């Protein structure tokens, strides 16, 4: 039986993307392998140094998507498709 929260050490830089399913999101490379699942996973960490908690959503094609809330986009000053953000996933809550 797994006990949560668990520490994570996943750091990557990726472009912001936009799609009809989520207004603004980042694809988490290698997430299915790193997390051991293709199901939704609650995580916490930072984006460009700003703390966040969110649920990684399975894309159906392999990696998870990290939805970016408007408040986080405002805090980072980034919300346009193609802008690069640095993400640190520090904890897994589910």
Segment 34-63, tens digit of pLDDT: 999 999 999 999 999 999 999 999 988 889
Mean pLDDT over residues 9-14, rounded?
Answer: 97
pLDDT at 61: 80
Which residue bears the tokens 């498709």? 81
Question: Is residue 23 predicted with pLDDT exceeding 90?
Answer: no
Convert the pLDDT of each residue in 59-79 to its tens digit. 888 899 999 999 999 999 999
pLDDT at 89: 97
Mean pLDDT over residues 82-87, rounded?
Answer: 98
| Distance between CA atoms of residues 8 and 34, nearest Å | 9
């Amino acid at each position: 039986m797994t006990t949560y929260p668990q520490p994570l050490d996943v750091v990557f830089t990726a472009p912001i993307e936009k799609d009809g399913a989520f207004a603004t999101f980042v694809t988490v490379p290698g997430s299915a392998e790193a997390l051991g699942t293709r199901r939704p996973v609650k995580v916490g960490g930072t984006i460009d140094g700003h703390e966040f908690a969110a649920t990684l959503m399975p894309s159906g094609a392999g990696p998870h998507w990290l939805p970016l809330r408007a408040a986080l986009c405002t805090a980072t000053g980034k919300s346009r498709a193609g802008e690069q953000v640095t993400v640190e996933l520090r904890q897994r809550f589910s």
